[in-house]
Amino acid sequence: MSGKLSGKVTAITGAARGIGRAVATLFAAEGAKVHLVDRIADELETVGAAIAAAGGSASAHVLDLRSPADIAATFAEIEASEGRIDVLVNNAGVIFFKPIEETSVEDWNWMHEINLRAPFLCCKAVAPGMKARRAGSIMNVSSNAGIKGGVDEAVYCATKFGIEGLSRSLAVELGPFNIAVNSITPGHPVHTSMSETTYGEAQRKIWKDPSEIAPAFVHLALQDSSGIHDEYVRAWDLACKIKAEAAT
C-alpha cells in the first residue's frame, strides 16, 4: 500500500460487515486512523482485531444509529480523542420489500431512522469541525434505488432518494468550505449480507467481493470540493478506472 490516507481520521458506519468492513480494512491499510461504527459488537471487534493484526489503526464504537443522542456522543468522543474527523462514510443501511398497503408506520420510521436520519445526524456531527478546518470528505452510500423506483421498495427508495437530496444540498452548503460531498453506489452487484437476501440468481452469478470497490472510497477520501464533488459516483466504474490507470 502507498499510505495514501496516512494520518487521516476516518469514521465509517456499518463497518462490521460487507462494504463497510472492506472500506475500513483498505482505509487502515492505506494509513488511516479508522473509527469503526456499528451495532454488531462481536463482528466489530473482529474487524478491529484484524486491522490491528495487519499493523493498522482501528477503534470500535458500538452504536445504535437509531439513537440521536448516542450518535452525537460517539462523534464527540472521536473528535475529542483525535482532534478532528477528516473523512465520513455513511454506509450503514437496512432493507425490506413490502407492498405499500402492507407497510406500517413502524416500518417507515425504522428504515428512515437508519438509512436517512442517521446519515443526516452523522453529517451534522462532523460538519462544524470540517468547516473550521476547511477540509474534509463525506461519502453517503446510495443505491440504484436512489434514482429509480422499484416494486415493493417504496420505503427503501424514499430513503435513498433522500440520501441523494441530502448529498446534493450538503455539497452546495459545504463546498465553499473545501469539503467534498458525494453519494456513492456500488455500481455492480456486490456480495454482502444484505445482497444475500435481495439478489436473484443472475446477480449472484456476477457479484463481486466488496474489496473490489473499496479503492473508489479511498479515492473519494482524498478529494476536496475542487475535485470529485457533488456527484453520484458508481464505485465499480471508479475502481476499474483507478486500476486501469495504475497499470499504465
* pLDDT tens-place string over residues 139-153: 999 999 999 999 999
C-alpha grid cell, residue 179: 469539503
Instruction: Evaluate whether residue 159 is within a structural domain.
Output: yes
Would you say the pTM of this structure is higher than 0.85? yes
C-alpha grid cell, residue 42: 462481536
Average model confidence (pLDDT) for the chain? 96
Residue 1 has pLDDT above 70, yes or no: no
Mean pLDDT of the 87-101 span: 97
The CATH number for 53's domain is 3.40.50.720
Query: Which residue range is the domain that position 25 belongs to?
Result: 9-247
* pLDDT tens-place string over residues 156-184: 999 999 999 999 999 999 999 999 999 99
Instruction: Evaluate whether residue 151 is within a structural domain.
Output: yes
Confidence class for position 103, pLDDT limits 50, 70, 90: very high
Q: Count the domains in the chain.
A: 1
Instruction: Evaluate whether residue 120 is within a structural domain.
Output: yes
117-129: buried (b, 16+ CB within 10 Å) or exposed (e) per residue?
Answer: bbbbbbbebbbeb
pLDDT value of position 195: 80
Length of the chain: 248
Instruction: Evaluate whether residue 179 is within a structural domain.
Output: yes
Residue 203 has pLDDT above 90, yes or no: no
Instruction: Evaluate whether residue 130 is within a structural domain.
Output: yes
Q: State the catalytic residues.
A: 156
33-38 β-sheet, strand order:
57-62, 33-38, 9-13, 87-90, 136-141, 179-185, 232-234
C-alpha grid cell, residue 94: 437496512
Instruction: Evaluate whether residue 4 is within a structural domain.
Output: no
Distance (Å, whole) CA 80 – CA 34: 15
Instruction: Evaluate whether residue 2 is within a structural domain.
Output: no
Find all residues with CB under 8 Å of 193, minimum gap 6, and list them. Answer: 17, 18
Instruction: Evaluate whether residue 57 is within a structural domain.
Output: yes
pLDDT value of position 200: 85
Distance (Å, whole) CA 21 – CA 76: 22
